[in-house]
Amino acid sequence: DRKTSEMGVTIETTKDGDGKNFPKKGDQLKMHYTGTLKSDGSKFDSSRDKGKVFQFVIGVGAVIKGWDEGVIQMSLGQRAVLNITSDYGYGSEGAAGVIPPNADLVFDVELLGINNLSAGGGGGGGGCTLL
């Protein structure tokens, strides 16, 4: 189950999401991720290791382009591997001394929440909607 966008990111699903709730530009997302260098598999960052969910707004340039283009194709609860080319990652600059220039990246990501929806929470019917 591989999805390729015309962009510099490919998505390989490792756990299916709900197939109906997809993020839209401007949505607040909650994710878990582990980032590794494609070249040697060395880990440079992980929200799982920190025990803290990563929150960001999708589609507004708050994260690398590979995330903006890749995560928006995922549904709630989905876990996937994003293979991101350097031009959709940190490019010729690299990052923070941990990601070398022109490095291709691999992220194991899981979409845990979209705005007020949480994975595994059923999502539909009953309950209150916060406006």
- pLDDT tens sequence across 13-52: 999 999 999 999 999 999 999 999 999 999 999 999 999 9
Which residues does the annotation mark as catalytic?
33, 44-45, 64, 90, 107
What pTM was estimated for this model as a whole? 0.85
Q: Which residues, at least 6 apart from 6, have a Cβ–Cβ distance to it below 8 Å? A: none
pLDDT digit string (tens) for 47-62?
999 999 999 999 999 9
Sign of CA dihedral 43, 40, 95, 15: negative
Q: What is the pLDDT of residue 90?
A: 97
pLDDT-derived band at 125, boundaries 50, 70, 90: very low
Q: Pull the structure tokens for residue 100.
A: 């070398």
Specify the residue for token string 């600059």: 93
pLDDT in tens, 74-90: 999 999 999 999 999 99
